[in-house]
């Protein structure tokens, strides 16, 4: 009986972490898109071409989205206990995952944007 209770508790913890991970992922997607949307609608007033606006918007939007994702995953989903300099190493390791998607965004964004004149 005690082993059954222990197994149930372990299952509950595992699915609780997965649920938090999924919810944090949904929030990160909404946050990243919202930041890009705000910057993308603001930059055309500052830049001469529409393509320059969305290409310039993706850079700070991606940076803010990665920082948000790190903070949410660190403190909500996984409750990492890294402190001081370990946080920097942890953040750098975390953000390297996003380098590939960032590069792909820079390459494919112009191909998928439908600009209406």
Can you give the pLDDT of all 117 residues of the chain as single tens digits?
566 555 555 556 667 778 888 899 999 999 999 999 999 888 888 877 878 888 899 999 999 999 999 999 998 888 888 888 889 999 999 999 899 989 998 998 888 876 554
- pTM of the entire structure? 0.78
pLDDT at 81: 84
Burial classification of residue 61, based on how many CB atoms lie within 10 Å of its CB (0-12 exposed, 13-18 middle, 19 or more buried): buried
pLDDT at 117: 47
Closest-CA residue to 77 (of 68, 85, 89, 86): 68
Q: Where are the domains of the chain?
A: 2-112
């Amino acid at each position: 009986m005690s082993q059954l209770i222990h197994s149930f508790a372990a299952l509950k913890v595992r699915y609780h972490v997965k649920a938090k991970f999924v919810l944090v992922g949904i929030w990160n997607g909404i946050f990243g898109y919202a930041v890009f949307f705000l910057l993308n609608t603001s930059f055309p007033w500052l830049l001469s071409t529409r393509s320059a606006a969305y290409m310039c918007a993706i850079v700070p939007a991606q940076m803010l989205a990665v920082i948000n994702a790190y903070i949410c995953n660190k403190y909500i989903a996984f409750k990492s206990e890294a402190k001081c300099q370990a946080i920097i190493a942890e953040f750098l390791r975390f953000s390297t995952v996003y380098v590939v998607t960032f590069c792909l965004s820079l390459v494919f964004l112009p191909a998928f944007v439908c600009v209406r004149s």
